[in-house]
Homo-oligomer: A and B are copies of this chain.
Amino acid sequence: MFFLFQQQIQLTEEKQEFNKRPIKAVPCSLARSISQSSIDSHSSVGSASSEDENSPRNKVQKTSKGVSDFCIKNIKQADFGRREICIAEQEMPALMVLRKKVGGEKPLAGAKVIGCTHITAQTAVLMETLSVLGAQCRWAACNIFSTQNAVAAALAEGGTAVFAWKGESEDDFWWCIDRCIGAEIWEPNVVLDDGGDLTHWLYKKYPTLFKNIRGIVEESVTGVYRLYQLSKAGKLCVPAMNVNDSVTKQKFDTLYCCKELILDGLKRTTDMMFGGKQVLVCGYGEVGKGCCAALKALGAVVYVTEVDPICALQACMDGFRVIQLSEVVQHVDVVITCTGNKHVVAREHLDRMKNGCIVCNMGHSNTEIDLASLRTEELRWERVRPQVDHIVWPDGRRIVLLAEGRLLNLSCSTVPPFVLSVTATTQALALIELYNAPEGRYKRDVYLLPKKMDEYVASLHLPGFEAHLTELTDEQTKYLGIGKHGPFKPNYYR
């Protein structure tokens, strides 16, 4: 199970990086239209699971209730998968609160949801929440490697029509999506997609289904990009909700997660002690702010590079020396990139680093460190541990490169359940909003979740902290000129 999870992480990362690639990477013919993200980990995961080779497509399995409308690896793993889901439920209290709060109202009664996401314990909690809220669900995997087979078994046993297993072939992938849509036996009316493959398949094979579909909820950067392209081209047939850019997700995903994951990623890969280490953080945006705060708190001496004077001034006021990379690169013990920029750490910098300097990336792509410049003959690469390479200069000097310059937080750490919870809750609310919105509220365009729902997502996470909100009095709402239940801030406020 742990192994599976590790894989999922890696996949997620690859996908994000993919999303940064230029447009031409988007496939054009059907045969090649499986998204890059769906298979991206193929080469990097050498130790592919070697369970039995009998394809699930050839097996007939039944749940304990005799249902067989699903296709997974092995229904017998359901108990084990259920335990994983139970654990995940504890990590995602917001969805559990949502079940309690609006479960009675069944806001998704009548909803026929088709979904295409990673299939893990956490997404299982989302699917089963949708069911509690009244929806019927059919589900496929958005990645051929990331499915947790036991979880899929538990979902099937629990009544979700799930079509997914770890290690699908490309043909399997589309077959599963097709079965998930289930056009012969029902008509979906809402779509929850992560990566755009399901949406793509609908467009290609079942365009007529869109007349009954009230909207698409899309989670990934790639998928959102595709939707905006469709919208721009006037080809978007239904409203779509961009969940990726909701305030709550962005705010917590960047600052708070990076703050914790930088420590975790460095520790798991290098066992380094933070106290007294000189660390250079390139970029003082949200990611950089999180990294700097955590490292400072643990006793590192942190330097910052910035191109934007406003962020630079913030770094100063927060107690960090703002310098140019070349000024300190020969002294520091660790270099971390968080810029979203390209070739921030270039060969000339790497040439001057001291022996044992650790180099890693927390930014938005794997371009921040100029890796190509290190793929030269005179340098020797040694893989010393998983995700850890030593690059050895002719004079014996070693640079420690983590995750080959890919995202440290995703490659060498674990996405915290809290973030998954925020995302899943936002997806659920987006679905409810799209499904229940009165005719005309949403056009054939891409929307952000309304501020008020963002606030609601946040409010659902407060009980997990035993946090108690204060309610405005009538006098106060009048004084402030806002509603008693929000939105409390303007839409642009972040």
Residues of A within 8 A of B (CB): 2, 83, 87, 90, 247-248, 251-252, 256-257, 259-260, 263-264, 267-268, 271-276, 278, 294, 296-301, 305-325, 327, 331, 340-344, 355-356, 367, 382, 384-385, 390, 398, 413-414, 416-418, 454-456, 458-459, 461-462, 464-473, 475-476, 479-480, 486, 488-489, 492, 494
Contact = CB atoms under 8 A, between A and B. Distances in A.
A301 B313 contact: no
A139 to B, nearest CB: 24
A50 to B, nearest CB: 20
7 contacts: A263-B267, A263-B298, A301-B319, A307-B471, A309-B459, A322-B462, A324-B470
B298 A320 contact: no
A310 B469 contact: no
A461 B341 CA distance: 25
Contacts of A268: 264, 268
Contacts of A494: 494
A342 B476 contact: yes
A61 to B, nearest CB: 26
Contact of A275 (B87, B276, B299, B316): B316
A341 B462 contact: no
Number of this chain's copies in the assembly equals 4
Given A298-B259, A313-B462, A343-B476, A327 B273 contact: no
A248 B317 CA distance: 13
B275 A260 contact: yes
A382 B275 CA distance: 36
B489 A252 contact: no
Nearest to A494: B494
B267 A462 contact: no
A268 to B, nearest CB: 7
Contacts of A276: 316-317, 319, 464-465, 467
Given A306-B469, A384-B87, A458 B264 contact: no
Contact of A271 (B356, B416, B466): B416
A417 B273 contact: yes
Contacts of A274: 260
Nearest to A384: B87
Given A341-B480, A469-B322, A480-B341, A314 B251 contact: yes
B252 A317 contact: yes
A235 to B, nearest CB: 25
A382 B385 CA distance: 31
A154 B476 CA distance: 47
Chain B CB within 10 A, most for which of A271, A320, A343, A459: A271
Contact of A300 (B2, B308, B319): B319
Given A271-B417, A462-B316, A467-B321, A308 B479 contact: no
B455 A308 contact: yes
A346 to B, nearest CB: 9
Contacts of A455: 308-310
B343 A309 contact: no
A146 B49 CA distance: 31
A310 B278 contact: no
A456 B473 CA distance: 43
B317 A256 contact: yes
Nearest to A326: B470
Given A307-B471, A325-B470, 5 more contacts: A256-B275, A260-B274, A273-B417, A331-B466, A494-B494
A388 to B, nearest CB: 10
Contacts of A475: 342-343
B256 A312 contact: no
Given A324-B468, A455-B310, A461-B313, A299 B271 contact: no
Contacts of A464: 276
A482 to B, nearest CB: 9
Contacts of A416: 271-273
